[in-house]
Amino acid sequence: MFKLASLSLAKPHHPRSGKLWSMTRMFNTNASQFPEAKQRFIPSSGQYPRGFYVGGLHCGVKKKKGVADLAVILSDRATTASAVFTTNQFCAAPVQFDRNAINKAREARKQMIRAVVTNSGCANAVTGENGLKDAQQMAAAGDKRVKAFDQNGTNPPSSPSSSSASDAKDNSTLVMSTGVIGQRLPIDNICRGIEAIELGDSHDMWMRAAIAHMTTDTFPKLLSHEISLPKGNIIRLAGITKGAGMIHPNMATLLGTVCTDAAITQSLLDKALAHAVARSFNSISIDGDMSTNDTIAVIANGAAGDVSISSESSAEYMAFRDALTDFMAELASLVVRDGEGATKFITVEVEGARTFGDAKQVASTIATSSLVKTAFYGKDANWGRILCAVGYAGIPLDTAKVSLAIYPGDGTAPLTLVSKGEPLLPVDEARASEILDQEDVAVRVELGLGSESARIYTCDLSHDYVSINADYRS
């Protein structure tokens, strides 16, 4: 069961003075700076996992001064980490680095990851050996900051000396990058930013980190929940994601980090993440393009104490897995709500399939159809386009069993368009117009073949999508 609560924690210490610190102080996290229609998705408080310290600032990756472009998430102890990455063969240098770092931790059977450093504005993708060196240097700066944290607290006045008592090891930092492909990182600026960034555990600091992830996003995507496990233990989840374009299933879907203070074994975290991603970040689509940088990571530091999740058959694991899945689905839906140029949030639900895979394939085919998406943008109840997509999804059908309805987001009555293969004519165009005039719309397809179901989140395709992406590098 989820419970959203407010949080009041100690104010972080100030790092040393200087240009980067000055920019940090001027950082605006007020929701009013973002589009009014999106402000309802921006939290004003949160319940955050224990033991994590975060922050964001402008270090000079983005051209415009004062626009946040660097985020750091740091745990006060080693974490169990798992991640899913893009399947794009031109995977970016940070993806290659992180995959290797997590595999090393798995092979060593040790908790090694302490921090995640993310920059926006430059993807560090298709940058060759120099890109890999930059990713390594970015991670090394993160490792150095972890050691400084262990020696001096959240915001040390200077770098740690060689006599630091930190037990942090090298390769304790994951790195993520997002932005323009084919350009080198301003790595010196990033390393200075990692050293100078203010870290804290308040809601405002989490907001800074979320804002620093943004590229073409129109609002920061931050979510936190408190969860009660079956034995009464309380754990917390916090997630930051970014994305508005180049979003399509079969990868992690742009960038996202979920932090939890739960204690869980590596193998069970891997299984929980795989289950959750299949039903969340791998179940959204905006434009059918797969990014080179897609990464979704979960890091668990065990700071909640009390209980360790170590058995796949336990009620604790099942509760954690399902809570993580619901949490990530909600986080992923924020990405679709911010789809480039989008005017509608569309939920595609397919029921009555033989298998989950079949249901998901049909739902994905509908969600990625440009004809379906443009029909929704035009508020046109062209149900033939939806059934056409169902028909070419590659799943054996009994067309005489297929039903189709559209549901409004306000909870009022749906409109059934096809019932067991038969169209319900004439279409109630007035009701269809009322439904399609709403921002939230659901499409539900019943296949009548079994009991499995799947859900995909998508959006419409508008003129603005073309305009945004035509001007992306300018």
Let me know the angle formed at the C-alpha of 207 by 204 and 213, rounded to the nearest 5 degrees: 150
**Dist. CA 437–CA 447, nearest whole Å:** 27
Q: What is the pLDDT along the chain (474 residues), one digit of tens a residue?
A: 222 222 222 333 333 334 444 444 456 899 999 999 899 999 999 999 999 999 999 999 998 888 999 999 999 999 999 999 877 777 889 999 999 999 999 998 899 999 999 999 999 988 999 999 999 999 999 999 999 999 987 775 544 443 334 455 678 999 999 988 889 999 999 999 999 999 999 999 999 999 999 988 889 999 999 999 999 999 999 999 987 544 444 433 378 999 999 999 999 999 999 999 988 888 776 444 444 567 899 999 999 987 899 999 999 999 999 999 999 999 988 988 887 667 889 999 999 999 999 999 999 999 989 899 999 999 989 999 999 999 999 999 999 999 999 999 999 999 999 999 999 999 999 999 999 999 999 999 999 999 999 999 888 887 776 665 566 554
276 in Cβ contact with 321 (< 8 Å): yes
Known active-site residue 29: no
The Cα-based distances of 163 to 113, 156, 258 in angstroms read: 22, 15, 33
pTM: 0.82
Cβ proximity of 401 and 448 under 8 Å: yes
Contacts of 469 (CB under 8 A, 6+ apart): 245, 340
Choice among 80, 127, 215, 253 that is catalytic:
253
Q: What is the distance between the alpha carbons of residues 241 and 221, in angstroms, rounded to a whole number?
A: 6
d(CA 274, CA 297): 11
